[in-house]
Amino acid sequence: MRTLSALFAALLAFGAEASTPAKPDKATTCAACHGDTGVSSQPIYPNLAGQYRNYLVHALKEYRSGQRKNAIMAAQAKDLTEADIKALAAYYAAQPGPLYTPSVHTPPKK
């Protein structure tokens, strides 16, 4: 029975690790301002950890195209491929962070 419990725990741990996206190589550049896991230590840089994946994709594409204006982010995003953007967004969206949206996380009051 103990062996079965250990096997089950190992399978659960493997499933959790398999579903967490690997840290993309391009995230090293992001870490300079946004922190290693997307939690910024400086209030002037936004937290990426826990942000919605589709929002991160949208923002990075807008920085890359120049539609969203920020000299630092434009320089960082200009050479990102679609695959880079998707990988970065998936990684940061999966990280635990301080972001909280009451309308999503709190049931409506009756």
38 vs 18: which has the higher pLDDT: 38
61 vs 15: which has the higher pLDDT: 61
Q: What mean pLDDT is predicted for residues 25-45?
A: 94
Was domain 23-100 assigned CATH 1.10.760.10?
Answer: yes
Q: Say if pTM beats, i.e. exceeds, 0.85.
A: no
Nearest CA to 95 among 43, 41, 35? 35
55 vs 109: which has the higher pLDDT: 55
Residues 84 and 26 sit within 8 Å (Cβ to Cβ): yes
Per-residue 3-state assignment (H helix, E strand, C coil) for the chain:
CHHHHHHHHHHHHHHHHHHCCCCCCCHHHHHHHHCCCCCCCCCCCCCCCCCCHHHHHHHHHHHHHCCCCCHHHHHHHCCCCHHHHHHHHHHHHHCCCCCCCHHHHCCCCC
pLDDT tens sequence across 66-99 = 999 999 999 999 999 999 999 999 999 999 988 8
Q: How far apart are CA 13 and CA 106, in angstroms?
A: 28
> How many Cβ atoms are within 10 Å of 87's Cβ, its own excluded?
19
Where are the domains positioned within the chain? 23-100
Confidence of residue 20 (pLDDT cuts 50, 70, 90): confident
User: Residue 73 has what pLDDT?
Assistant: 96
Q: In the predicted model, is pLDDT for residue 50 greater than 50?
A: yes
Mean pLDDT score across all residues of the chain: 84
User: Residue 83 has what pLDDT?
Assistant: 97
